[in-house]
Amino acid sequence: MINKIFKFRGGVVLDHKKSTADSPVENFPLPKTIEIFMQQHIGAPCLPLVKKGDYVYVGQKVGDSEAFVSAPIHSGVSGQVKEIKDVILYNGMKSKSIVIETDGKQEVLPDLKIPDISSKELFLQAIRDCGMTGLGGAGFPTHVKLNTRDRIPEFLVINAVECEPFITCDYRAVLERSKEIFQGIQLCLDKLSIPKAIIGIEDDKMPAVEILKDLCKGDSRIETLVLKTKYPQGAEKMLIYALTGRKVPMGGLPIDIGVVVMNITTVMMINNYIKSGMPLVSRIVTIDGEGIEKKGNYEIIFGTSIRDIYDYCKKEDGSEEDVTKILYGGPMNGLTVRDFDRPLLKQNNAILFMTKKELNLEKESACIRCGRCVENCPMSLMPLMMNKYALLEDVEQLEKLNISNCIECGVCSYVCPAKRHLVQSFKMGKELLRKERSKNG
């Protein structure tokens, strides 16, 4: 049993604005069309397995790759492939996209079956076949993370922290689907021979805490630990340290210190696939922001357009022009959506329709070297210097400053009195460093 909670350095306490915490999960209406991007995870993109004019079923695999770090993609609707086209992703990379016109029948793939998980290898293959990627936002293929080969983790850390403002989808999952979550954790412990699971959750979610602690009474291998509310507690390295006191080495992975981390809804969806044979085709998403009326948590099929979501949730007299910014994820480290035609992806745990009133649109000014970014950085980095050399495109200095270790949590930008666009510059700096390393082999 773990008796001590460890406090990580830095971080901030935020106004969490969890207005949808009391909103039960609703099934979102079936859209007329969906658009499925072939890049929805870290790693190699998928290639389409269907062509224009083909009929597809619910649960049918429509994209896959032979690369190890990748995950197949499935259709959440039945209907006809209307188009296959090229799209530009948020990072400027190209991807194929499959547009499917739904027929409203929701016919399930006829040969859909419950997977064989009689061995560890078959269990990992089932997770890959499911198309599972981390549902906490990172989008890393789950079968790759769990394939620790000859290294058996000492701890399975379950992330139920959900420390970003607005987002409540994981919280609602615990309140409404706790048994599925618990069964998913037990499956992972059994099949991967992991002796201990620790569920980390913050103290602003006490109804969920009580449910999880009560379930833990039925399995001594699983423990729930309550953490003081602090951002970015849900970041992988912060959570591992808070729950175990172990630090992931710079450039290392959690398995290097005997830990594997999974989001709480990821284990829930693994359990659902093992029990039903239905792959990952939808997820719970928090929809919020002052740009809409029907805020809440919805089970939404992947590929549903932002426009369809907005049209369903908008104010009676609302228009798209009222929305200043759309975010995939939370306001701290979410990604800006280019337009209303973008689809829901696997890693999107929230979509926020933000108005000008909600956003801090102050112009950035010169750095005053106050040191707040350094003081609050949970990774003990030097944000002010990283910002300087990223803007100068000085790759050598960026490497010396360990910019690759930045988790892009946004704490530095949040505390900066000069409103410097720090995280944006770090993303650019990391890309410069990546290209330089690639060029040098």
Query: What does the alpha-carbon distance between residue 100 and residue 33 come to, in Å, rounded to a whole number?
Result: 6
Apex 141 CA angle, 76 and 257, nearest 5: 150
What pLDDT is recorded for position 1?
A: 55
Q: Which class is 120-276 in CATH?
A: alpha beta
Per residue of the chain (441 residues), give pLDDT as tens.
555 788 999 999 999 899 999 999 999 999 999 999 999 988 999 999 999 999 999 999 999 999 999 999 999 999 999 999 999 887 778 899 999 999 999 999 999 999 999 999 999 999 999 999 999 877 899 999 999 988 999 999 999 999 999 999 999 999 999 999 999 999 999 999 999 999 999 999 999 999 999 999 999 999 999 999 999 999 999 999 999 999 999 889 999 999 999 999 999 999 999 999 999 999 999 999 999 999 999 999 999 999 999 999 999 888 888 999 999 999 998 999 988 999 999 999 999 999 988 887 788 999 999 999 999 999 999 999 999 999 999 999 999 999 999 999 999 999 999 999 999 999 999 999 988 888 876
Pick from 270, 261, 158: nearest CA to 215: 158
Question: C-alpha distances in angstroms, 368 versus 234, 412, 414, 425?
Answer: 30, 14, 15, 17
Q: Which residues are within 8 A (CB) of 8 and not within 5 positions of it... i.e. 6 or more apart?
A: 233, 238, 241, 242, 378
DSSP state, 141? B
Q: Are 313 and 287 in contact (CB under 8 A)?
A: yes
What pLDDT is recorded for position 117?
A: 97
Q: Are 330 and 350 in contact (CB under 8 A)?
A: yes
DSSP characters for 156-219?
A: EEEE----SSS--HHHHHHHHHHHHHHHHHHHHHHHHT--EEEEEEETT-HHHHHHHHHHHTT-
What pLDDT is recorded for position 3?
A: 58
Sorted by where each begins, the domain ranges of the chain are: 120-276, 372-439
Q: Are 135 and 349 in contact (CB under 8 A)?
A: yes
Pick from 286, 397, 361, 216: nearest CA to 17: 286
The sheet that has 196-202: what strands, in order across it? 222-227, 196-202, 155-159, 259-263
Residue corresponding to tokens 């410069």: 432
Residue corresponding to tokens 């224009």: 52
Q: What is the pTM of this model?
A: 0.95
Q: Are 423 and 411 in contact (CB under 8 A)?
A: no
Query: What does the alpha-carbon distance between residue 160 and residue 200 come to, in Å, rounded to a whole number?
Result: 6
What pLDDT is recorded for position 441?
A: 63
Q: What is the pLDDT of residues 9-46, one digit of tens each?
A: 999 999 989 999 999 999 999 999 999 999 998 899 99
- Residue 267: its H or E element: helix 264-276
**Buried-exposed string 184-221: b where 16+ CB fall within 10 A, e elsewhere:** bbbbbbebbebebbbbbbbebbeebbebbeebbeeeee
Residue type, 337: V
- Burial of 125 from C-beta contacts in 10 A (0-12 / 13-18 / 19+): middle
What pLDDT is recorded for position 138?
A: 78
SS3 state at 422: helix
Judge if the upstream peptide bond of residue 232 is cis by omega within 30 degrees of 0. yes
Q: What is the pLDDT of residues 82-106, one digit of tens each?
A: 999 999 887 778 899 999 999 999 9
DSSP characters for 285-299?
A: EEEESTT-S--EEEE
User: What torsion, rounded to 10 degrees, do the Cα atoms 419, 425, 427, 433 define?
Assistant: -160
Task: Quote the tokens at residue 101.
Answer: 């016109």
What pLDDT is recorded for position 384?
A: 96
Three-state secondary structure string covering 315-376? CCCCCHHHCCEEEECCCCCCEECCCCCCECCCCCCEEEEECCCCCCCCCCCCCCCCCHHHHH
Strands 296-301 and 25-27: parallel
